[in-house]
């Protein structure tokens, strides 16, 4: 099991937040994750003049998980082990509901998240989640 360096993840999330494109909300967000193949992937929110099309930081992070610069070297099905999402002050920010679902897909119930109430598992922040198993069980 890879050791989780929470301060390093927090710093990476903060650095990503500095790169956010959030001219409409004025609310920059950064996210960073440790993967099971030992990488740190990051994302920031990227808004759009068509407001509803804005991308949350976690979406950028998951995109980097698969398509990032280290793409060729990564595991075929990389998994998220630990995630930190921060606001402009570097304080922990709870992922929105949609992003909890996005993170669940790639981290599962055991993925750890630094929350406003300390480190918690995805199973705790998204109880009774819908997931891939629900599709196959009903096929
Ligand atoms: N935002 C994120 O990037 N992640 C979240 O989990 C919560 C919200 C962004 C979306 C929007 O660009 C801004 O924060 C204000 O909602």
Instruction: Please list the ranges in the chain whose pLDDT falls under 70.
Output: 1-2, 70-72, 137-139
Residues sharing a CB contact under 8 Å with residue 31, sequence separation 6 or more, in sequence order: 13, 16, 42, 43, 44, 57, 58, 60, 61, 83, 84, 85, 86, 95
Residues sharing a CB contact under 8 Å with residue 38, sequence separation 6 or more, in sequence order: 2
3-state secondary structure of 112: strand
Does residue 57's CB lie within 6 angstroms of at least one atom of ligand 1? yes
pTM, two decimals, is 0.94
Name which residue sits closest to atom 9 of ligand 1, judged by CA.
56
What pLDDT, on the 0 to 100 scale, is given for residue 74? 74
Residues 55-73: tens digit of each pLDDT: 999 999 999 999 877 666 7
What pLDDT, on the 0 to 100 scale, is given for residue 137? 63
Choosing from 58, 105, 114, 124, which is the catalytic residue? 58
Does residue 27's CB lie within 6 angstroms of at least one atom of ligand 1? yes
What pLDDT, on the 0 to 100 scale, is given for residue 68? 75
């Amino acid at each position: 099991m890879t050791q989780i360096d929470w301060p390093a993840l927090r710093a990476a999330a903060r650095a990503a937040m500095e790169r956010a494109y959030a001219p409409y909300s004025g609310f920059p967000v950064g996210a960073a994750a440790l993967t099971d193949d030992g990488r740190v992937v990051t994302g920031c929110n990227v808004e759009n003049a068509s407001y509803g099309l804005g991308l949350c930081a976690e979406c950028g992070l998951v995109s980097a998980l698969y398509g990032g610069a280290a793409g060729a070297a990564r595991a075929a099905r990389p998994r998220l082990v630990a995630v930190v999402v921060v606001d402009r002050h570097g304080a922990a920010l709870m992922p929105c509901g949609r992003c909890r679902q996005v993170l669940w897909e790639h981290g599962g119930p055991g993925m750890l998240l630094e929350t406003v109430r300390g480190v918690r598992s995805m199973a705790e922040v998204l109880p009774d989640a819908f997931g891939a198993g629900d599709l196959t069980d009903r096929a």
